[in-house]
Amino acid sequence: MPSRPHSVSLKDHGQQLHLSHAEGDLTLEALWLRERSPDETTLDSLTGQRLIEAADLPLDLSLTQAQLDGDTLSLAFSDGHAASFSLASLLAECQPCEAYQGMTFWQGSLAQLPEADFAAALDDDAALLDMLEQLQRFGFVRVSGVPDTEDGMQGLIHRIGPLRRTNWGGIADVKSVANAYDLTMTQRGLEPHTDNPYRDPIPGYIWLHCLRNAAQGGDSMLVDGFSAAERLRREDPEAFACLTEVSPGFRYHDATTRLESEGPLIELDSRGQVARVRFSNRTERVPALPGATLLRYYAARQAFYRLISGDDFTLHLKLAPGQMLIMDNYRLFHGRSAFQLEGGIRHMRQGYVDRDSTASRRLLLADQLAGQRDGQFANEEASA
């Protein structure tokens, strides 16, 4: 965090506030300050939600006075409003976001897999937070000690958020069956893919629980899609740009369901950072775009596919009974090798959990455990 400003002053006829401090200068807009004014007429004291209509504020609103006293910044505005801001809170809000905050990109050579223990995460908040932070960092975590029952994952899902129900139910089978409604339910190998890009919203996290894995083959493959997309951006910027611009459709139809959606294979956020990847060869339906666009797209898709199916980026592992993978379906591609049932049974169970509830649990636990640690230190200092 920057050091405390040495001075504050008004600029541009009061439409800007200028903070001067050791690391550099910071300029804040009067309107931006006014709409987050931390007083009970502007923000609800209980929820922190805004009470005034920000769109009604005059666009030429300005500051008429600014005064700094320690951490307290007192401001007066041309609409007659006055309020005191915490300078530390204001500066914290102005911190630039680190690119891919809290994430570690990896490739197929990742030596140490992110691991967690089911019972520990179920019983202990610190262990649950550690599991969720590894999931955020690597985009997946392998969990051991999952109860050997069909819905064995359920207890831990309850600790995080609701199970996302789909037309396939809650926790559903992934095993070879006759009359498969999806290629997942066959013995075929599956190319690297994200799940269900034909849904809206797309499932956030895949929970894949292994009950039996005695079949020959059936190994899991994981690819860090963000890492691969950034490689593509460096090595083939034209292909990268194309995959952020063209939005293929994705489709799942069966006797009772029509699911259709669209989106680019590489989706960027407002800062140009990769926010989501999609790849689902078996459900993709590219629209009949102009020929030149199609050719550009096919070449770009091929370049990306070669990356995400190549040895550099592919991590191989075989889940054992009692293990599960939690995978970020916006970041990871996953696949599996073909399997033959002559060797034994392969039976997985799979469920989906949303991204917002997962992130919320992680952030809340981090705050709560930090608060407990602070309280503990304060008590220790008080009793020392």
Question: Which residues of this chain interact with Fe ion, rule CB under 5 A?
Answer: 195
Q: How far is residue 220's CA from residue 237's CA, in Å, rounded to a whole number? A: 30
Q: How far is residue 28's CA from residue 88's CA, in Å, rounded to a whole number? A: 14
Q: How far is residue 131's CA from residue 364's CA, in Å, rounded to a whole number? A: 14
Q: How far is residue 329's CA from residue 193's CA, in Å, rounded to a whole number? A: 9
Which residue, 116 or 325, is less far from Fe ion as judged by CB?
A: 325
CB of 195 to Fe ion, least distance (A): 4
Which residue, 195 or 230, is less far from Fe ion as judged by CB?
A: 195
Q: Which residues pair with 166 in a beta bridge?
A: 169
CB of 79 to Fe ion, least distance (A): 54
**Amino acid occupying residue 18:** H
Which residue, 85 or 138, is less far from Fe ion as judged by CB?
A: 138
Which residue, 35 or 173, is less far from Fe ion as judged by CB?
A: 173
**Amino acid occupying residue 373:** R
CB of 349 to Fe ion, least distance (A): 13
Q: Within 13 A of 337's CA, how many CA atoms are on the CB side?
A: 16
Which residue, 8 or 325, is less far from Fe ion as judged by CB?
A: 325
CB of 172 to Fe ion, least distance (A): 11
Which residue, 176 or 244, is less far from Fe ion as judged by CB?
A: 176
- Bond before 96 cis per omega within 30 degrees: no
CB of 335 to Fe ion, least distance (A): 8
Assigned token pair, 113? 């897999």
Q: Is 317 exposed, middle or buried (0-12, 13-18, 19+ CB in 10 A)?
A: middle
Q: Which residue is nearest to Fe ion, using beta carbons?
A: 195
CB of 224 to Fe ion, least distance (A): 16
Q: How far is residue 299's CA from residue 160's CA, in Å, rounded to a whole number? A: 41
